Amino acid sequence: MASVLGFFALTKDHRPGPEEKSEAPQHQSPSDLESMLVKSLLEIRQNHLDLAMSDVEALLKLYPNFKLAHLIRGDLLMARAHPLSTIGSAAGASQHQISDLREEARARLLRHLEQMPVNLVPKYLVQFQPEQHHAIVVDTSKSRLYLFQNDNGTPRYVADYYVSSGKAGAEKNKEGDQKTPLGVYFITASLPKTQISDFYGTGAFPISYPNEWDRQQGKNGHGIWLHGVPSDTYSRPPRASNGCVVLANPDMDTIGKNLQVGLTPVIISDKVDWVDPKELAAQRSELSKLVEDWRHDWESIDSDKYLRHYSRNFNAPGQNYSSWDAQKRQVNASKTWVKIKLSNISIFSYPGNDNLMVITFNQDYSSNNLKNQMRKRQYWKFDSNEWKIVYEGAA
């Protein structure tokens, strides 16, 4: 009998071995939607159609608005009469809608057939600050959001979730391009259900797009959020938003409990790079020393030592390297002593740019004629075999 739902077409990049099992993945709870869906799809692959139908109907009892499950149930009913060549053969929906659901099935299935790397972490999470309890990492190519916990400054995997992102793909550049931005962002607000329309589901969390680096690159736009789905929908296709990252409402509710306004990083990549935690530890040590050297040289009131940390391509709000150089030399001329204390330092590597780091910290400045405190953000870039600051400003 032909493979129902064109299963090998759905998973053309995966070649399962003869020992492949149909049980739900062990790290998921039995009631988890995605585990139930994957279990039914694997049963279909093995032509255990009655078992698959039973599981899909159980799934629909729990999640009656799950369109993909309805589509699969229709195919299974049709399969009782004759083999089906592809997913959606029995549906009356448009081919565009069916194609979207096929892509959702493929994304959800591949997550479980291609398990995430064991004992590796995303390369972007170099260092949490103590107050950051969690971090979000999004892989737009896999339609996946990963939640990591701050475990004494290093990342520890908690869970991952299916997501939908921009209709036109990733790497947003301008207003209205329907792309999801790539970069290091932070949660800027929490919008409960009572403050938003039903379209955004049970809650929304705006992020800081465009960030400082985006603006330096001439990117614009606004209104990029993490948010849920309308109440009559369980999930959206992988490419369905105007640029936001969209989750099922139960997942949004779960994740929302861990998000901190102004603190939680949301790092969006088009392909997550995974590394050994030891590699992050070495990078953490290197970058921490660079920041400490910069702090020490600022305290020295030696302008040449201080300014050697800045790139000739440096920019700050309203300033370039030349004006920054002139201002700092003028300020230092009035100082007899300077003390700088840094705390709550976070370090994140920028997706798609191995040579760019986002470093944020609390700065407590005092001198013979001035005292102030601020939250500061710097972008350090590796160029010509050394790290230099290319942007600095208030966070």
CB within 8 A of 366, min separation 6: which ones?
A: 338, 339
CB within 8 A of 194, min separation 6: which ones?
A: none
Q: Integer distance in angstroms from the first to the last C-alpha of the chain?
A: 61
Catalytic, 296? Answer no
Distance CA 280, CA 286 (A): 10
Q: Residue 159's beta-bridge partner residues?
A: 147
DSSP 188-233: ---EEGGGS-GGGTTEEEEB--S-HHHHHTT------EEE---TT-
Inter-residue contact 237 to 103 (CB < 8 Å): yes
Single-letter residue type at 196: I
Three state DSSP letters for 29-90:
CCCCHHHHHHHHHHHHHCCCHHHHHHHHHHHHHHCCCCHHHHHHHHHHHHHCCCCCCCCCCC
> What's the full length of the chain, in residues?
395
Catalytic, 244? Answer yes
How many beta carbons lie within 10 A of that of residue 5, not counting itself? 26
For 329-366, give one letter per residue: b (16+ CB within 10 A) or e. Answer: eeebeeeeebeeebeebbbbbbbeeeebbbbbbbbebe
Selected catalytic residue, list 70, 112, 134, 244: 244
Distance CA 189, CA 197 (A): 16
Give the residue numbers annotated as catalytic, written as ranges: 227, 244
